[in-house]
Every structure is written in C-alpha cells, then in structure tokens.
A and B are shown apart, each in its own frame.
Chain A
Amino acid sequence: MEKAVITVLGNDQVGITAKVCTILAGQNVNILDISQTIVDTYFNMVMVVDIAKANVTFEAMGEELAAAGDAMGLKIKVQHTAIFDAMHRI
C-alpha cells in the first residue's frame, strides 16, 4: 500500500465529492478514508487514498485533479503521506 492525501478546499457546491471520486476511480486509486466539513459555505475535504495500483503517475494524478478543481473553483492538492509522517511522527 502506498498512501497519498488529497485535500479539497473551496466554496461548497453540488457534485464535488462525486467528481473527485469519479476521477480517482478512473485512475484506479482506492479511497481509504474521507473526512469533510463545511463551515458556512466553505468546503473542506481530506481524503486518504491508496495509490499503489494507480494506472497513472503521481504527477499526472495530481494534474488531473488540480485541473478538475480549477474548473469548479476549488483548490485540490495531492501529496504523498510521507511529508505528514515526517513532520508529525517520530
């Protein structure tokens, strides 16, 4: 298993989760955990995914999600989990 974190930030609207999940399914990326909050109209989602069997490169995965985010006025970022482990776990 190789994990990545996807964060989605922006104004709430219909279909954000559906859109992200559809893209991930197409990339053969498995979703392990989703947590989302909405404060006023501000949407904030954090997903942990398994990219071990992804059919695209990490870079291409990030670019496709970021492009979809741009089209919906959202900021979508994909990061390998190692950065969070490095910073928060000894």
Chain B
Amino acid sequence: MITRNEILETNRMIDDMNLDVRTITMGISLLDCADADIDKFNEKIYNKITTYAKDLVKTGDDLAKKYGVPVVNKRISITPIAIAAAGCETDSYVSIAQTLDRAAKKVGVNFIGGFSALVQKGYTESDRKLIASLPEALAVTERVCASVNVGTSRNGINMDAVKEMGEIILQTAEYTKDRECIGCAKLVVFCNAVEDNPFMAGAFHGVGEGDCAINVGVSGPGVVKKALEEVRGADFETLCEQVKKTAFKITRVGQMIAQEASALLDVPFGIIDLSLAPTPAVGDSIAEIFQEMGLAEPGAPGTTAALALLNDNVKKGGVMASSYVGGLSGAFIPVSEDHGMISAAEKGALTLEKLEAMTCVCSVGLDMIAIPGDTPATTISGIIADEAAIGMVNNKTTAVRLIPVIGRGVGQSVEFGGLLGYAPIMPVNTYSCAPFINRGGRIPAPIHSFKN
C-alpha cells in the first residue's frame, strides 16, 4: 500500500517542482512511401503520418489526466527525408517540408523532426538537395525540425559538410531575419546523432528502427534541484546518491507513461530518454542545480565537473528504472531555454568557450546560442568542427544549434518566445579559421574507432 507521504512527495514533484513528461514522440518510418513522383510521395507521407499519429495528441492528453502529470509535448519523428525521398525526381525538397508541416498541424503535434540528412562520410544527390532546401524549408514552415549529421566516431568528420553547414546556417538566419532568425532554432548539426532521440530539434526515426515506435522524454531539473537542497553541504558521495535516487523516480514515471502510451496506441515501445531539459520557467533550470551544488554562476570553475557528475548520475539512476534507456539521456544545456544560463551569459560568467568544455561531459552540445549576425560562415563551421571533434573522439553525441542574429551584435538579445526562450548574443572569437575550413575533404576516423 502506498503511503500518504509517498503520494504527497509525488504530487509535490509535479505541482511545485515542474516534474513532467516532456514529450511523447512517435517515430514513423517513411521508407515505404518512396515514389519517383514528388506529388505522390507527398501524398503518401501525409497519409501515413496523419493515419499513424491521429490519436497521438489525445492519448497524451488522456494519460496526463489519468495520472495527474503533465505531458507537455506530443511530437513526431520520421525517417530522414534525404533517405526517404531519395527516389523523387525533383530539384527541391521544400514541398516535402510543407507537407510535413501540414501533417503536423492536422494531427496537432507542435514539432515534427526528421527533415534530415546523414552525411558523415559523404553526400548522395538526395543529401545535397535536402541541405540546399534547408533555408527556404525552415522559413516557409513552422513545425518542421531539421538536422544534419556531419560526423561519427566510426567514420570521422565530413569537413565539406561542416563547411557547407556554416553557410546554410547563415542563409537560414537570413531567410528568417524578420522573425528573430527562428529558422536556425529548428536546425541542428550533429556528430554521432542517435536514431531514437525523442527531443527536438534533433529527432529523427533512424533506418534501423521499426515501422513505428513510441519514444518518451522525461524531464525534471526542478525535482533534482529541490532534492539537492536536502543535502546542502554534504560530500560528493551523498550528492551523487541523491541525484541517482531522484533520476530513478523521474524515469519510473516516464517508463509507466511510455508503456501505457505504447499499449493504447498499439505501437511498440522504443526507449525512454531521461534528459534533464530546462524550460525558461523559474524552478525548471539546470543552472539552478549548479548553484545548489555550490557554484555562484554556471560557468564558474567547477562547472564542468558539476555537469559531469550530474550527467553521469542521471544516467545511473535512469538505467535502473527503465528496460530501455536510449536517446540522448543526460543533461541539456541550452542557453536560451534556461533563465539561469541566460543570466550567467548576460553577466559574462558563462562564455562560449566554457560551454564548449561543458559539452564534453553533457548529453548534447552547443545548444540555442545566439551569436552576432556578422559572424563569418567559416567561423560557424569552425565551431561545428570543434564540437564534432569532441563528439568523435569521446564517442558521444555532440550538436550545434547556433543562431546568428542578422543585424544584431554583442550586447543585444533575441526573443524566440515560448519554450525556446530568449538569448543574449554571445561574443565569438574573431580570429579567422577560414583557410582551415576551406581545405575540404574528410577528417579520418580516430584510432580508437577500430574496434573490430
């Protein structure tokens, strides 16, 4: 029998500490929609998505009511379009993005991810078309998220793609400069992208996945922060133990919701992604966890160690709680989506270089960072190359989601609204890396990739 204290503890987590199921993401394969005629392809993907996901939003909402825990987002991930649409005889994939946007609106999900290409070792013609379509596709759609994987630990880094993505990010910003360059907030450049990530903007449904799967992302930085208040001043063993126990409880809720969603929708359960994902709300912040651990501001010396122990113990608690933990599982450090990170960046406590160091030990990378609009494309490529190198050498996922804010510079800010928050424009090292980026070709896979 559950005790009164246990009931009240769960409800305090939900009501006062922002415990929620951040997303139920339905992964849908579009491989069977291939068609040489792009109009027919668009019709097939629209029909498949709107059929498979027709009850997704209602199911999420019903589960939220049944268990009294918010299910914040209902989303869809799809087979990377550069693969699914490879047979289409066309020059541009913009109409596909528009179709995905219509499908997302029809079923009521707030994002659909998978307008993506995987080019870690080279480009197909389809990859080229997709990447060239990105700036316009992200400008004319609202809910479509895109990603490009430019490197893996097994394959090395495609530096041609790194160079091109610097240019594409700037073009995407230019295409949406009347809307705070929002296009760039929907575009992620990955190294070691994962195939079952339910979180946006980097979600896609990998080719090794089945026809359809339910992946669930749980969150709860506020719960971790409150739990750490109870062990203020205690040693690291106690601190780590507290993070682990909390992560376990949070993940158990996600596991239960995922299994039930999977049963109700009659779709196989994929994975639980236990990621501490902040929102701009007070009490839902990774920065507050750092402060509770004893750092005056995120960015202070010790921040990388704090993030490393947080990330590791979140995983340790999470794997015990679910049969299938996957996705990115760890801690996200998006600047614009966390009020404590925004404030630290505004004060100068948190710099781009420190964020880069932090990405060595967190679950993703340089995320939702606004930079000056006059940053050269090669410099953006240099930042992508650095992140990809960290991911490649450390066998982890890294990502770059930068927003060059056209017409604005350091000291100004950009306001996205909603979950995407706002961000101060951060200074970027102004020394050139253009000759390095312009070399072209591939960086070979690191020595420790040869594990066979």
Given A58-B65, A59-B62, A88-B2, is A83 in contact with B256 using a C-beta cutoff of 8 Å? yes
Output the nearest chain B residue to A75 by Cβ-Cβ distance: B15
Q: Which residues on the B side are within 8 Å of A5 (C-beta)?
A: 2, 7
Cβ-defined contact, B68 with A84, below 8 A:
no
Output the nearest chain B residue to A59 by Cβ-Cβ distance: B65
Instruction: Answer yes or no: B11 CB below 8 A from chain A CBs.
Output: yes
Shortest C-beta distance, A63 to chain B (Å), equals 9
Output the nearest chain A residue to B259 by Cβ-Cβ distance: A86
Give A59-85 as 1s and 0s: 1 = Cβ < 8 Å from B's Cβ atoms: 100100000000000000111111111
Output the nearest chain A residue to B67 by Cβ-Cβ distance: A83
Give B6-20 as 1s and 0s: 1 = Cβ < 8 Å from A's Cβ atoms: 111111000000000
Cβ-defined contact, B67 with A79, below 8 A:
yes
Output the nearest chain B residue to A37 by Cβ-Cβ distance: B4
Cβ-defined contact, A79 with B4, below 8 A:
no
Output the nearest chain B residue to A86 by Cβ-Cβ distance: B256
Cβ-defined contact, A83 with B69, below 8 A:
yes
Cβ-defined contact, A85 with B2, below 8 A:
yes
Cβ-defined contact, B7 with A84, below 8 A:
yes
Instruction: Answer yes or no: B102 CB below 8 A from chain A CBs.
Output: no
Given A7-B11, A35-B4, A88-B6, is A80 in contact with B252 using a C-beta cutoff of 8 Å? no
Output the nearest chain B residue to A89 by Cβ-Cβ distance: B2
Q: Which residues on the B side are within 8 Å of A48 (C-beta)?
A: 1-2
Output the nearest chain A residue to B11 by Cβ-Cβ distance: A7
Bound CA–CA A54/B6 (angstroms): 25
Bound CA–CA A85/B1 (angstroms): 9
Bound CA–CA A9/B212 (angstroms): 41
Q: How many residues of B contact A (CB 8 A)?
A: 21
Instruction: Answer yes or no: A1 CB below 8 A from chain B CBs.
Output: no
Q: Which residues on the A side are within 8 Å of B10 (C-beta)?
A: 83-84, 87-88
Shortest C-beta distance, A87 to chain B (Å), equals 5
Bound CA–CA A11/B252 (angstroms): 33
Cβ-defined contact, A80 with B4, below 8 A:
no
Q: How many residues of A contact B (CB 8 A)?
A: 22
- Report which residue of B6, B9, B68, B255 has the largest number of chain A beta carbons within 10 angstroms of its beta carbon: B68
Output the nearest chain A residue to B66 by Cβ-Cβ distance: A80
Q: Which residues on the B side are within 8 Å of A7 (C-beta)?
A: 7-8, 11
Q: Which one, A44, A77, A87, contacts B249 given CB within 8 A?
A: A87
Q: Which residues on the B side are within 8 Å of A83 (C-beta)?
A: 10, 67-69, 253, 256
Bound CA–CA A10/B2 (angstroms): 22
Q: Which residues on the B side are within 8 Å of A20 (C-beta)?
A: none
Given A62-B65, A80-B67, is A86 in contact with B2 using a C-beta cutoff of 8 Å? no
Bound CA–CA A82/B256 (angstroms): 8
Output the nearest chain A residue to B68 by Cβ-Cβ distance: A79
Cβ-defined contact, B66 with A79, below 8 A:
yes
Instruction: Answer yes or no: A24 CB below 8 A from chain B CBs.
Output: no
Given A46-B8, A59-B62, is A87 in contact with B68 using a C-beta cutoff of 8 Å? no
Shortest C-beta distance, A74 to chain B (Å), equals 14
Q: Which residues on the A side are within 8 Å of B2 (C-beta)?
A: 5, 48, 81, 84-85, 88-89
Bound CA–CA A83/B4 (angstroms): 14
- Report which residue of B7, B253, B255 has the largest number of chain A beta carbons within 10 angstroms of its beta carbon: B7
Give B244-271 as 1s and 0s: 1 = Cβ < 8 Å from A's Cβ atoms: 0000010011011000100000000000
Q: Which residues on the B side are within 8 Å of A85 (C-beta)?
A: 2
**B-to-A contact residues, CB < 8 Å:** 1-2, 4, 6-11, 62, 65-69, 249, 252-253, 255-256, 260
Q: A48-B2, A88-B2 given; name 12 further pairs at CB < 8 Å.
A: A7-B7, A48-B1, A58-B65, A62-B65, A77-B11, A80-B67, A81-B2, A82-B260, A83-B256, A86-B253, A86-B256, A87-B10
